[in-house]
Amino acid sequence: MRTDIPQPVRLADYRPSDYLIDRVELDIKLHATATRVQSKLSLRPNPKGVPGAPLILDGDDLKAKYVLLNGAQIDSSGLFLTPDQLRLETPPQEPFHLEIETEIDPTANTRLMGLYRSGTAYCTQCEAEGFRRITYFLDRPDVLSVYTTRIEADFREAQVLLGNGNRIESGTIEGTGRHFAIWHDPFPKPCYLFALVGGILGSIHDRFVTRSGRDVALGIYVEPGKETSATYAMDALKRSMAWDEEVFGREYDLDVFNIVAVSDFNMGAMENKGLNVFNDKYVLASPATATDTDYAQIEAVIAHEYFHNWTGNRITCRDWFQLCLKEGLTVYRDHEFSADMRSRAVRRIADVRTLRSQQFPEDAGPLAHNVRPDTYLEINNFYTATVYEKGAELIRMLKVLIGDEAFHKGMDLYFARHDGTAATIEEFIACFAEAAKRDLTQFSLWYHQSGTPHVEVESAYDKQAQTLTLDFTQSCKPTPGQDTKQPFLIPIAFGLIASDGAPIALQAGGSDQASEDELARGVIELATTRRRVVFQSVPTRPVPSLLRGFSAPVRLGNSSSEADLLTLVAHDTDSFNRWQAAQTYATRQLLHAVEVVRSGRKPIYDEAFIDALLRVLEQSSDPAFIAQVITLPGEADLAREIGENVDPDAIHGARKALRQAIGEGLKPNLLQTYQALTSKDPYSPDATAAGRRALRNAALDLFCAGNPEEGLPLALQQFESATTMTDKIAALSILTAHAGPEREKALEAFYATHASEALVIDKWFILQATIPEPETLARVKSLMQHAAFSLHNPNRTRSLIGAFATGNQTQFNAADGSGYDFLAGIVLELDSINPQVAARLLAAFRSWRSLETKRQGLAEAALRRVASVSGLSPDVKDIAERSLG
């Protein structure tokens, strides 16, 4: 354990390592409680380092058995060894060898970093700083080494032995019941990409021939008996490999690519070279256990980890401040992949929903940080929506700014120039500046300034002069450590449409012109605090469609009239903005209703909005898109829009009332949609079939909201007869939202059917944790006593505790502070088991300052209670202190 007070790490202090490790030979003898790790390192002074500097290897909770320098014992005055460090005072100044043996206990490893046990397997997680929990090392991403790993284990305990790279040897050790495998990875890599797996695992196998003819053996390893549930993941893997060749010209580079799914994992998955380790949630799927959303996520995560082979592994990060170099770029790539595999418009809407619900609150609260941070206390806390999701938006924006051709030229240059190295964001951007022949200095500010810019647009049409004037203003609120901001470079994709929906041709004029280039691309570049753009020869009053496709991660103040919003909903050629216009309209209605509810009155909703939804519902095209349009903004979305003095109960009340009004107003239409989309086809996870299910279930949900007496029996019928988990969980979620004996009966029946499927039971926990009723906290507490619950399993913890804290706005934010107290208590309990997961749970407090005063006080008290405990992990301490900062 690192018990000393954590010191901030600063980007400004970066200097190259004083030593390099060219080769690593590991010999690992797996044992449940006493695994032996022998490490032979070939080191040399780094020509870029300080000559004669001591060699300081990182450790974390290690027990050293012996250390040899060039084969000999080291004089005790020259070697300092603690569980957290190995320090050699005067290392040789020419190449030398170090041999170290450590003993580690994978069974006691509840933090799930380093070598640990999950089910019937041994596995590792080394990013960001887990390798130092296996052996002493230069645990930093800019030290790249070639690894050869020998793994030895009792055959009965681990029939499967996997490592990075290609397997070069294997055999049994006569008379011992043990066997071994030797893996060699020819590609130099940082230690965070090291992995090994040993265990009793089932597997499926396939092949992929790359376009230059490399025949790659693909394997997916899962808990025995679950093999058939890995076939969709295998299919997604092959499609990812083909797509990366086609779209980015990237081929796979080893003869083997293995994926292992484990049930205990802190995050989604990990891109270890040639040996990805996954949270089994992102591998296992069958129609009876996984929803359409699960299938889509599996496809995306499989692609994400595979794409890291180039963006992350072949080119890695110089230091952890550059995390977005691999993560933002790889998320961008997986988004594009999913858009190509499914409906681009629907994927874009889903991605923006995620950005707004996960990243915008981060940017608006005390945990706001740059996409490229410049200081951290605990790097584990920077695997955030800002680094990942906003990081991906920056890449997308870059492409909008410089165009597709220059973007791909820049990517090719990046791959060619930096392959085999550990790079920085500056080096990455330089490739695009060069390819586009454009100065990207102002664009780079996106990486260095936190906060979500706000763009206001005033639009004025002059009938006489036939001109349209658009006045843009940008601003950005202060964020921690950044009181003032320089103007961002904001690309605003746009178009003008007439009130009948016809597109209007663009002609700029006057002194406030949009450039020819801007008009041709349909993108206005807002680079200053204010900008006016005037369009000439506009024959009728147009409706501007702005920020098409969500061309920049900003909040757009929208002063369009309701009539204009309806024009956009009906006619915009940009599907994203059609959806957005409906969301904006709904949000406006709901924000007004929240005020009405707060003043103790009953909200009334505008018929025109409900009519607009009806017209969308009547279109027969793209059910998945229609499902998105009729799904109202969530409670957390509304809280974010309100921004201050938030009352979660009023938001819940307003939203419930609108859902009821829609359900009542569109009763026959919703029922008709529901009935028309019944399918007798065999299950297919493809986007079209999934889209039909999405619309059918969204219609049922609204129907039940307005007509529970007729709706609930339908939901019950669907629950009982469903052949897919999508339909079953949709029905159960409707039943769960209504108190009564049916709910409890349905929940019991669901548990009884799926008790042996951990991933399905996670859904059962989520549903119960998110019931918006005052009794829920007691239910959550009693579910913690359920045999199926364990704080040691991250998926379980997230399903019950995480879902309560982030998915139950009214009960987590209960006015008496009980939700806050509960979470604080759990975080403290979990901190000694798994600090990484504990810290993530604590981040649920990130928006506490936007609450109304009484809740603010209670949330602050709970955070202070956590912060005041001594002996906190750096992970939890960092989140607690920054949240209060």
Within 737-775, where are the H helices?
A: 741-754, 758-769
Nearer Cβ to ligand 0A1 (271/572): 271
84-92, 320-328, 570-578, 839-847 -> range binding Zn ion (CB under 5 A): 320-328
Return the number of the residue (327 or 831) whose C-beta is nearest Zn ion. Answer: 327
708 binds, among Zn ion, ligand 0A1, none (CB under 5 to 8 A by kind): none
Please report how close the Cβ of residue 363 comes to ligand 0A1 at its closest, in angstroms.
20
Measured between alpha carbons, how far is 361 from 833 in angstroms, rounded to an integer?
28
Q: How far is the CB of 125 from ligand 0A1 (least distance, A)?
A: 5
The token pair at 676 is: 């028309």
Residue type, 255: D
CB of 303 to Zn ion, least distance (A): 11
Sign of CA dihedral 693, 698, 699, 703: positive
User: Which does residue 270 touch among ligand 0A1, Zn ion, none (CB within 5 to 8 A, set by kind)?
Assistant: ligand 0A1
269 touches which of ligand 0A1, Zn ion, none (CB within 5 to 8 A by kind)? Answer: ligand 0A1
Residue 125 or 673 with smaller CB distance to ligand 0A1: 125
Nearest approach in angstroms of CB 327 to Zn ion is: 5
- Is 312 or 633 the residue whose CB approaches ligand 0A1 more closely? 312
When CB distances are held under 5 to 8 angstroms depending on the partner's kind, the choice from ligand 0A1, Zn ion, none that residue 449 binds is: none
Which listed option, ligand 0A1, Zn ion, none, makes contact with residue 6 (CB within 5 to 8 Å by class)? none
Site for Zn ion in 325-364 (CB under 5 A): 327, 330
Give the angle subtended at the CA of 379 by the CAs of 373 and 380, to the nearest 5°: 125
DSSP annotation of 11? G
The entry of ligand 0A1, Zn ion, none near residue 125 (CB within 5 to 8 angstroms by kind) is ligand 0A1
Query: Would you say 280 or 647 has its CB closer to Zn ion?
Result: 280
CA 398/CA 396 separation, integer angstroms: 5
Report the nearest approach of ligand 0A1 to the CB of residue 628 (Å). 26
- Interface with Zn ion by CB under 5 A: which range of 324-332, 507-515, 619-627, 866-874? 324-332
Are 74 and 92 a contacting pair, CB within 8 Å? Answer: no
Nearer to Zn ion, 265 or 625 (CB): 265
Neighbour-count burial of 361, counting CB atoms closer than 10 A to its CB (0-12 exposed, 13-18 middle, 19+ buried)? buried
Give the integer Cα–Cα distance in Å for 854 and 816.
9
Long-range contacts of 290-294, Cβ-Cβ distance < 8 Å, separation of 24 or more? 290/725, 290/759, 291/724, 291/725, 291/726, 291/729, 291/763, 292/685, 292/690, 292/693, 292/694, 292/724, 292/726, 293/726, 294/725, 294/759
Q: Which does 135 bind (CB under 5 to 8 A by kind): Zn ion, ligand 0A1, none?
A: none
Residue closer to Zn ion (CB basis): 331 or 435: 331
Got the DSSP string for 500-553? TS-B----B-SSSPPPHHHHHHTEEEE-SSEEEEEE----S--EEEESTT--SS
| Ramachandran bin of 780, using left for φ above 0, alpha for ψ from -120 to 50, beta for the remaining angles | alpha
Q: What six digits make up the tokens of 830?
A: 């979990």
Q: Which is nearer to Zn ion, 280 or 327 (CB)?
A: 327
Tokens 């203003």 belong to which residue? 473
Q: 206 is written with which tokens?
A: 């396939």
Shortest Cβ distance from residue 292 to Zn ion (Å)?
A: 23
Please choose which of Zn ion, ligand 0A1, none residue 217 contacts, taking the beta carbon within 5 to 8 angstroms, the exact cut-off set by kind. Answer: none
* Binding partner of residue 768 among Zn ion, ligand 0A1, none, CB cut-off 5 to 8 Å per kind: none
Q: Residue 304 or residue 356: which is nearer to ligand 0A1 going by CB?
A: 304
Strand partners, 150: 27, 182
Judged by CB, which is closer to Zn ion: 330, or 795? 330
Smallest separation, CB 328 to ligand 0A1 (Å): 10
**Pair of tokens at residue 708:** 């529970």
User: Between 305 and 647, whose beta carbon lies closer to ligand 0A1?
Assistant: 305
Q: Give the chain's largest Cα–Cα span.
A: 97
H or E segment at 38?
A: strand 35-45
Q: Which residues bind ligand 0A1 (CB under 6 A)?
A: 125, 127, 266-271, 304-305, 327, 383
Min dist CB 330 to Zn ion, Å, is 5
Is 839 in contact with 873 (CB distance < 8 Å)? yes
Least Å from the CB of residue 615 to ligand 0A1: 41
Q: How far is the CB of 79 from ligand 0A1 (least distance, A)?
A: 31
Which of the listed partners (Zn ion, ligand 0A1, none) does 266 bind, with a CB threshold of 5 to 8 Å by partner kind?
Answer: ligand 0A1
Shortest Cβ 816–ligand 0A1 spacing (Å): 35
Partner residues linked to 490 by β-bridges:
526
SS3 call for 337: helix
Active site residue 635: no
- Residue 312 or 542: the one with the smaller Cβ distance to ligand 0A1 is 312
Stretch that binds Zn ion, among 201-209, 323-331, 458-466, 784-792 (CB under 5 A): 323-331
Cα torsion at 543, 548, 552, 556 (round to 10°)? Answer: 30
Nearest distance in Å: CB 776, Zn ion: 33
State how far the Cα of 172 lies from the Cα of 175, in Å rounded to an integer. Answer: 9
d(CA 505, CA 538): 8
Q: What is the DSSP string of 156-173?
A: TT-SEEEESSEEEEEEEE
Residue 784: contacted member of ligand 0A1, Zn ion, none (CB under 5 to 8 Å, by partner type): none
Rounded to whole angstroms, how far apart are CA atoms 314 and 419? 6
Please write down the HEC assignment for all residues of 194-230: CCEEEECCEEEEEEEECCCCCEEEEEEEECCCCHHHH
Q: Could you say which of 305, 518, 525, 757 is catalytic?
A: 305
The answer to whether the CB of 389 falls within 8 A of the CB of 874 is no
Of 197 and 658, the one with the shorter C-beta distance to ligand 0A1 is: 197
Q: Which does 292 bind (CB under 5 to 8 A by kind): Zn ion, ligand 0A1, none?
A: none
Q: Judged by CB under 5 A, how many residues of this single chain contact Zn ion?
A: 2
Residues 799 and 638 sit within 8 Å (Cβ to Cβ):
no
Cβ–Cβ under 8 Å, residues 519 and 546: no
H-helix segments, 437-489? 441-448
What is the DSSP track for 551-562?
-SS-EEE----H
Q: Which has the closest alpha carbon to 572: 547, 589, 596?
A: 547
Tokens 């690519």 found at: 257
Interface stretch with Zn ion, choices 207-215, 321-329, 659-667, 819-827 (CB under 5 A): 321-329
Q: State the minimum distance, in angstroms, from the CB of residue 221 to ligand 0A1.
A: 18
Which residues lie near Zn ion (CB under 5 A)? 327, 330
Residues forming the active site: 305
